[in-house]
């Protein structure tokens, strides 16, 4: 069981309300930037039950910024595909985009408590920066000039902690949100799902499985995922006329599970581990910044489980917020930078809710009319491949920050749209001599300046940027030159570039002599011809308060 002292400091640079996976990950990320935090968690340790289970490629990348990717990938079960059935006939087999050169699988199944453990382990590598108080809860919040007063209750009584910043990661029933009188707005769906974890050995392939109106449970919809430790996660829809309290009683749950396992041919002995109930919500705050109080994860937004956008969007909140808050606290940027956190992540939440709503209306139709249309699409999908896209669960993927105030004007308007400002940077597999790495391994630290297929004249401009970055103090930046495999290097360029195999640079455009500026969270901030290196240098220098190259 995790352990910490209940004695709290009088002051903390950052107080994080909520020690779930989002709060713990934020604390670990801030520690990587040298920022101290105090996390307040009401429970005595990690969560029970699997809860969030599907970790997207983007989430794996973010966890890698503080070293949690290695244990997660080692323990988790990666997957790339899924199958949907109408009654007992397969209606969809989908494959998620996946390149063997990519660093992570599109999805990894793993129980939420493992994610919490790995994030907490990362915090413990920085004991002087990342503290946590278990079995403690935030009971009041008071805005103060230049900070926030936070009242915390634990076994030692009540205590006020003065914080420079407060980040609410305390879930869908956020005490911080309530204390500020803020309300999530949007839509809540009536359809309910029972969530069951069972332990049963299986050799079945790891993939997303869905049944609509299965013979085992007529009229229901069932989702299944294999997890580590011989655990099945099973979600099944219950009728609108069923009492939620009755629906989760073992005597009502276990026969339904047994019926479905029998239909699948999964005959190994099994036992239940955890039972809960859920209904889909599309809710969000209008703003995730309220003075010195910021909101992340379920405290900021609630999205349906379908397409696995809940925890994944929360980790993306943490990845977006951590570097911006660190830059502000370290004095490298004004507090206005945090407004972009709110605008970008509210935009992301609305996109996630739009996709999640479509998935919810298909998985749990909100009316008889929706049910008729859904079932018609399923019947047609059995015999007509062109209809099967309607059954696609729209799995979570990285959101684009189109229109972000941080995006530079596009200096390469004819380059591919997938590498435009505001897009997540396409990963690159890089080699040089015996060294191997991915571009994404440099994210989560500082800005990245990427030069692609530079000639010697462009390299001289680029090298001025490189020298300026090397002289920076404090928060780091990384410089890369990448060339297509097979390209010739000569003179001063020889041996200085990282090579990209095959057509890996296609996403960044075929033209040479181009520069990309990537944000610490792996998003593209700007791109230019190398002749405009001064423009790139000025933009990067604006986050470090020092010039990088002469005009």
Least confident among 108-112, 402-406, 469-473: 469-473
pLDDT of 234 strictly over 90: yes
From the number of C-beta atoms within 10 Å of its C-beta (0-12, 13-18, 19+), residue 140 rates as middle
pLDDT of 141 strictly over 90: yes
Q: Report the pLDDT averaged over residues 218-238.
A: 94
pLDDT of 4 strictly over 70: no
Domains of the chain: 11-76+108-186+281-361 (3.50.50.60), 187-280+367-391 (3.30.9.10), 417-541 (3.40.30.120)
Looking at every residue in the chain, the average pLDDT score rounds to 88
Kindly state the tokens that stand for 249: 């009683």
Q: How many Å apart are CA 336 and CA 326, to the nearest integer? A: 13
Q: Report the pLDDT averaged over residues 28-47.
A: 96
Q: How many Å apart are CA 147 and CA 15, to the nearest integer? A: 11
pLDDT of 360 strictly over 60: yes
**Closest Cα partner for 202 from 268, 109, 107?**
268
What is the chain's alpha carbon radius of gyration, rounded to the nearest angstrom?
Answer: 25
Least confident among 101-105, 176-180, 376-380, 408-412: 376-380
pLDDT at 546: 52
What tens digit of pLDDT does each residue of 387-440 get? 777 676 666 678 999 999 999 999 998 899 999 999 999 999 988 888 889 999
pLDDT of 3 strictly over 60: no
> What sign does the CA torsion over 255, 260, 263, 265 have?
negative
The model carries a pTM of: 0.93
More confident residue, 414 or 322: 322
Torsion of CA 139, 117, 13, 540, to 10 degrees: -130
CA dist list (Å): 180 to 150, 266, 415, 502? 12, 50, 45, 53
pLDDT at 6: 56
What tens digit of pLDDT does each residue of 474-505 get? 667 788 888 876 666 555 556 678 888 767 78
């Amino acid at each position: 069981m995790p352990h910490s002292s209940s004695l709290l400091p009088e002051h903390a640079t950052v107080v994080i309300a909520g020690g779930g996976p989002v709060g713990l990950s934020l604390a670990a990320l801030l520690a990587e930037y040298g920022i101290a935090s105090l996390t307040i968690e009401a429970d005595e340790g990690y969560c029970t039950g699997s809860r969030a289970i599907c970790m997207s490629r983007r989430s794996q990348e973010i966890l890698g910024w503080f070293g949690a990717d290695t244990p997660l990938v080692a323990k988790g079960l990666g997957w790339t595909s899924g199958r949907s059935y109408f009654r007992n006939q397969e209606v969809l087999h989908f494959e998620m985009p996946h390149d063997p050169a990519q660093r992570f699988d599109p999805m990894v199944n793993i129980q939420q408590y493992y994610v919490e453990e790995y994030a907490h382990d990362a915090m413990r590598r920085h004991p002087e920066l990342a503290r946590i108080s278990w079995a403690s809860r935030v009971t009041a919040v008071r805005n103060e000039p230049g900070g926030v007063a936070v009242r915390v209750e634990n076994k030692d009584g009540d205590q006020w902690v003065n914080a420079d910043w407060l980040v609410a990661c305390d879930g869908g029933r956020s005490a911080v949100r309530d204390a500020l009188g803020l309300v999530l707005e949007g839509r809540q769906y009536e359809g309910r799902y029972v969530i069951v974890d069972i332990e049963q050995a299986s050799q079945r392939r790891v993939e997303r499985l869905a049944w609509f109106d299965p013979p085992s449970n007529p009229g229901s919809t069932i989702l299944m995922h294999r997890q580590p430790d011989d655990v099945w996660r099973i979600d099944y829809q219950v009728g609108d006329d069923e009492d939620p309290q009755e629906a989760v009683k073992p005597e009502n749950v276990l026969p339904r599970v047994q019926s479905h396992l029998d239909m699948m041919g999964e005959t190994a002995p099994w036992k239940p581990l955890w039972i809960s109930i859920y209904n889909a919500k599309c809710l969000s705050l209008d703003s995730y910044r309220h003075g010195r109080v910021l909101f992340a994860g379920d405290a900021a937004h609630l999205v349906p489980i379908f397409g696995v956008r809940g925890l994944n969007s929360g980790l993306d909140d943490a990845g977006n917020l951590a570097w911006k808050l660190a830059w502000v606290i370290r004095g490298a940027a004004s507090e206005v930078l945090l407004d972009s956190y709110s605008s970008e992540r509210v935009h992301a939440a609305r996109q996630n809710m739009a996709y999640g709503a479509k998935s919810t209306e298909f998985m749990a139709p909100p009316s008889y009319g929706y049910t008729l249309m859904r079932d018609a699409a399923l019947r047609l999908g059995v015999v007509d491949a062109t209809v099967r896209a309607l059954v696609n669960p729209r799995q979570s993927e990285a959101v684009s920050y189109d229109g972000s105030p941080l995006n530079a004007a596009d200096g390469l308007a004819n380059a591919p749209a997938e590498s435009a400002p505001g897009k997540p940077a396409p990963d690159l597999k890089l080699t040089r001599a015996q060294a191997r790495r991915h571009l994404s391994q440099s994210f989560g630290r500082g800005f990245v300046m990427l030069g692609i297929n530079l000639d010697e004249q462009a390299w001289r401009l680029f090298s001025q940027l490189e020298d300026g970055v090397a002289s920076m103090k404090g928060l780091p930046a990384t410089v890369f030159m990448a060339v297509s495999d097979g390209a010739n290097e000569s003179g001063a360029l020889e041996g200085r570039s990282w090579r990209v195999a095959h057509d890996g640079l296609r996403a960044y455009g075929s033209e040479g002599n181009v520069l990309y500026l990537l944000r610490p969270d792996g998003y593209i901030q700007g791109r230019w011809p190398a002749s405009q290196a001064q423009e790139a240098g000025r933009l990067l220098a604006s986050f470090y308060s020092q010039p990088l190259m002469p005009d």
